[in-house]
């Protein structure tokens, strides 16, 4: 592998330029994050189920509602098609796990799930007469196109850009995506720090070279 043979050169001429192309230090942090999402994770999948579970306690003679939301949000590794270099950096070099798309132990995020689902359902109901159903022979499935998302079986696929353009319809979803606990927000923060470290290392090497030859 090229990186193993010449890591410093790969960092200087491949990795740093690439990271600078997806993380814009000249923009505000908020704008840079949304640009990063648009480039690397432009389409995101939401999967939500609500399995009902009613338990009966014989001793207490009471019914308990143990129902809960099953929820995950991510792009189902579509990012690999966008950039193998991105995957190599974040997965191989940084060992950042991009498969952790569930948040069962995060109440801040899970508390947003019911409202996110309700807003998806409202759009479906409001646009039921205008939506378009398309058959995809590759996956042998039907998907339905709404104004801000595509419904595929139990999945909601949405474009980050389109959802931001219709923020009034998806304010809770956008709040989740912009949360510091959200997977891709953490990935952005991690990559930004990694780029800062690489640039510092490169500057130190340049300074050392200058001292030796000038």
Q: Which helix (H) or strand (E) holds 191?
A: helix 183-213
The CA–CA distances, whole Å, from 18 to 13, 69, 94, 198, 199 equal 9, 38, 15, 12, 12
Cα-based torsion angle of the residue sequence 194, 196, 202, 207 in order, rounded to the nearest 10 degrees: -150
Q: Is 147 helix (H, G, I), strand (E, B) or coil?
A: coil
Cβ 159 vs Cβ 169: under 8 Å: no
| pLDDT over 90 at 96, yes or no | yes
Enter the pTM of the model: 0.85
Over residues 14-22, the mean pLDDT reads 95
d(CA 90, CA 190): 9
pLDDT at 146: 94
- If one compares 50 and 112, the residue with the highest pLDDT of the two is 112
Q: What residues does each domain of the chain span? A: 2-213
pLDDT at 8: 87
d(CA 158, CA 149): 4
Can you say how many angstroms the Cα of residue 44 is from the centroid of all Cα atoms in its chain? 6
Strand-pairing partners, residue 65, are: 54
Can you say how many angstroms the Cα of residue 113 is from the centroid of all Cα atoms in its chain? 16
- Residue 28's contacts (CB-CB under 8 Å, 6 or more residues apart) are none
| pLDDT over 90 at 19, yes or no | yes
d(CA 124, CA 118): 10
Which stretches of 77-182 are DSSP H helices? 79-82, 84-87, 107-110, 113-126, 160-165, 171-177
Q: What is the mean pLDDT of the chain?
A: 87
Q: Is 121 helix (H, G, I), strand (E, B) or coil?
A: helix
Over residues 112-123, the mean pLDDT reads 94
pLDDT at 205: 77
What secondary structure letter does DSSP report for 124? H
- pLDDT tens string 82-92: 788 999 999 99
pLDDT at 76: 79
């Amino acid at each position: 592998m090229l990186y193993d043979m010449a890591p410093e050169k790969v960092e200087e001429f491949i990795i740093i330029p690439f990271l600078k192309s997806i993380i814009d230090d000249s923009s505000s942090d908020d704008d840079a994050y949304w640009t990063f999402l648009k480039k690397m994770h432009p389409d995101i999948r939401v999967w939500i189920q609500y399995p009902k579970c009613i338990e009966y306690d014989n001793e207490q003679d009471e019914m308990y509602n143990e129902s809960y939301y099953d929820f995950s949000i991510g792009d189902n590794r579509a990012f690999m098609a966008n950039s193998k270099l991105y995957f190599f950096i974040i997965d191989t070099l940084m060992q950042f796990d991009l498969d952790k798309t569930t948040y069962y132990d995060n109440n801040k995020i899970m508390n947003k799930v019911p409202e996110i689902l309700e807003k998806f359902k409202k759009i479906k109901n409001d646009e039921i007469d205008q939506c378009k159903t398309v058959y995809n022979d590759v996956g042998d499935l039907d998907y339905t196109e709404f104004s801000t998302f595509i419904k595929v079986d139990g999945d909601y696929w949405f474009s980050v850009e389109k959802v931001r353009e219709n923020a009034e319809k998806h304010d809770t979803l956008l709040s989740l995506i912009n949360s510091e606990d959200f997977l891709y927000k953490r990935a952005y923060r991690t990559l930004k720090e990694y780029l800062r470290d690489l640039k510092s290392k490169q500057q130190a090497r340049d300074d050392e070279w200058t001292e030796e030859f000038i």
